[in-house]
Amino acid sequence: MDDDVFDVWLRVPARPENVALARQALAGLCEALPTSPKVLADVKLAVTEACTNCVVHAYPNGLGEDAVFEVEADPGENELLVIVRDYGRGISPNTESPGLGLGLPLIAALSRTVEFRGGTAVSGTEVIMSFGLDDDLGDGNRG
């Protein structure tokens, strides 16, 4: 597998209406793969939560032309790798978050593995998730 080639690559403005676009792109990919309904549901929810974080938290100073999020997906034989990336301010505690703060714990619970990279205003944030395509039981994760 070529590490630089992804089957799905999406780059969109970090606006709320684009979260569904990313979710449906990944759903379409999963439906073309031998995945169970549970894996499809988990991918949809985890990707939605990751993209929502980009929309809600990454660009607190508003949306310039660089305020985007990207989604990359690479299906392997037994595993789907999904990366959600923004170029915003990075992950930091936000006591004034309008949401429940469940996004990151949900991603961790739904994915087989998850890694967070970045966290600076220069590099933004990458959420790197893997999902077992043949997972059929229980919640993914891990530590």
Chain residues in the site for other proteins (CB under 8 A): 16-17, 19-20, 23-24, 37-38, 41-42, 44-45, 48-49, 52, 55-56, 98-100, 102-103, 106, 109-110, 139
Q: Which two tokens stand for residue 99?
A: 């949401």
Instruction: Report residue 52: phi and psi, to 5°.
Output: -65, -40
Distance in Å from the first CA to the final CA of the chain = 26
For the CB of residue 18, give the shortest distance to other proteins in the complex, in Å: 8
Amino acid at 96: E
25 and 10 Cβ atoms separated by less than 8 Å: yes
Question: In the complex with other proteins, which residue's Cβ is closer, 93 or 98?
Answer: 98
Nearer to other proteins, 75 or 103 (CB): 103
Contacts of 4 (CB under 8 A, 6+ apart): none
Other CB atoms closer than 10 Å to residue 94's CB: what's the count?
13
**Cβ of residue 32: shortest distance to other proteins, in angstroms?**
17
Alpha helices in the chain (DSSP H): 17-31, 37-53, 103-110
Cα angle: 70, vertex 135, 138; to 5 degrees: 105
Residue 5 Cβ vs other proteins, minimum distance, rounded to whole Å:
28
Please state the closest distance from residue 45 (CB atom) to other proteins, in A: 6
- Judged by beta carbon, residue 66 or residue 139, the one nearer other proteins is 139
Nearer to other proteins, 44 or 117 (CB): 44
- What is the smallest separation between the CB atom of 20 and other proteins, expressed in angstroms? 6
In this complex, which beta carbon is closest to other proteins, that of residue 39 or of residue 73? 39
